[in-house]
Amino acid sequence: DENIWLTQKMMGTLYHVATHTINYHLKKIFSDSELQENSVIRNFRVTAADSKKYNTKHYNLSAIIAVGYKVNSERAVQFRKWATNIIQEFTIKGFSMDDERLKNEGCILGKKYFEEQLQRIREIRLSERKFYQKITDIYATAMDYDVSAKATKRFFATVQNKLHWAIHSHTAAEVIVNRASHQKDNMGLTTWKDAPSGKIQKFDVAVAKNYLTENEMQQLQRLVSAYLDIAEDMALRHIPMTMEDWETRLNRFIEATDRKVLQNTGKVTAEIARVHAESEFEKYRIIQDRMFESDFDREMKQLENKTKKE
């Protein structure tokens, strides 16, 4: 009948809330006469876990939409933003069209969608973006991607630290605080913009990746590469991925490699790490200036040695 029917439990899964929350809002919808109960409910026989069939209440699309305007969850907010755009377009134009679905002969996710998804993932792999930026780029391919969603802000804020933690059990800020020291060779850095012979600059010392060992960098690169393999595999198998799917997939992937998943924001803030690194740099700058030999210095030294021999 071109309708959609969901149980209360299924609606809870859809909107990421508990079943009793769905039940509460449905009762309110019916008591307010927003919808007539007998017009939106139908019993379907469903096989339960005990292999027996039971008549189970299912609610149609009208009820599903009404509940979406009541519940308080990130997924419900996404739904309301999507619905508001459609209502706004209809109010202004007098009609609303799903251009992508019409292009795909009524399919929301047609063959072309997954072909384009595969191309995007392969472009991300070939890009010169930083390792954690490639993961955020993959996240941005989600079918429900919303840059303003709380889930997106949370993912973007934690993804770099999750990758660092998986490799060496420290966040990016913790690595800087633990390894940046004016008493170490090159201030503890293993690489910097003008490495190996150029000077270390202030902007080099606040980058966590610059303190990683060669082994840690190789692990990081392999981890990101393997995650991109998974993303490509999802597209090849025509499996649509949501923002939540990508976040969950990253955690499961890290666990599958026998590494730990970061469960908090770490013990050190980015600001503390920056202040520490810059403080150590000011001390190291004096040592560096005293020991540094520029290209000009080397040329002059060679010239002096040549003159002495003559």
- Per residue of the chain (310 residues), what is the pLDDT tens digit? 568 999 999 999 999 999 999 999 999 999 999 999 999 999 998 888 888 888 999 999 999 999 999 999 989 999 999 899 889 988 888 867 666 665 655 556 677 778 888 999 999 988 878 889 999 999 999 988 989 888 899 999 899 999 999 999 999 999 999 999 999 999 999 999 999 888 999 999 999 999 999 999 999 999 999 999 999 999 999 999 999 899 999 999 999 999 999 998 889 999 999 999 999 999 999 999 888 765 566 566 666 676 666 6
The 10 Å Cβ neighbour count of residue 305 is 10
Q: Are 135 and 250 in contact (CB under 8 A)?
A: yes
CA-based torsion, 123, 126, 127, 132: positive or negative:
positive
Neighbours of 93 (CB within 10 A): 9
CA atoms within 13 A on the CB side of 95: 3
Residue-level pLDDT at 1: 58
Instruction: Give alpha helix (H) positions in the chain.
Output: 8-15, 19-31, 37-40, 61-68, 74-93, 99-103, 111-126, 131-139, 150-168, 172-179, 214-236, 243-256, 270-291, 295-309
Coil, helix or strand at residue 45: strand
Q: Could you give the angle at which helices 74-93 and 8-15 cross, rounded to 10 degrees?
A: 90
Burial class (CB in 10 A: 0-12, 13-18, 19+), 74: middle
Q: pLDDT value at position 197?
A: 84
> The tokens 């002969």 sit on which residue?
105
pLDDT at 111: 75
Type of residue numbered 56: T
CB 176 within 8 A of CB 229: no
How far does CA 161 lie from the centroid of its chain? 11
Residue appearing with tokens 């992508």: 100
Work out the angle at residue 260's Cα, subtended by the Cα atoms of residues 157 and 246, and round it to the nearest 5 degrees. 50
- Quote the pLDDT of residue 150: 87
Q: Contacts by 232-235 with C-beta closer than 8 Å and gap 24+?
A: 232/118, 232/121, 232/122, 232/125, 235/114, 235/117, 235/118, 235/121
Closest by Cα among 53, 34, 46, 44 to 4 = 44
Half-sphere exposure of 274 (CA within 13 A, CB side): 4
pTM across the whole model: 0.71
Angle ∠(225,231,234) on CA atoms, nearest 5? 145
Contact 261, 162 (CB under 8 A): yes
Going by C-alpha positions, the residue among 80, 81, 56, 55 that lies closest to residue 67 is 80
pLDDT of residue 113: 78
Q: Positive or negative, the Cα torsion across 234, 237, 241, 245? A: negative
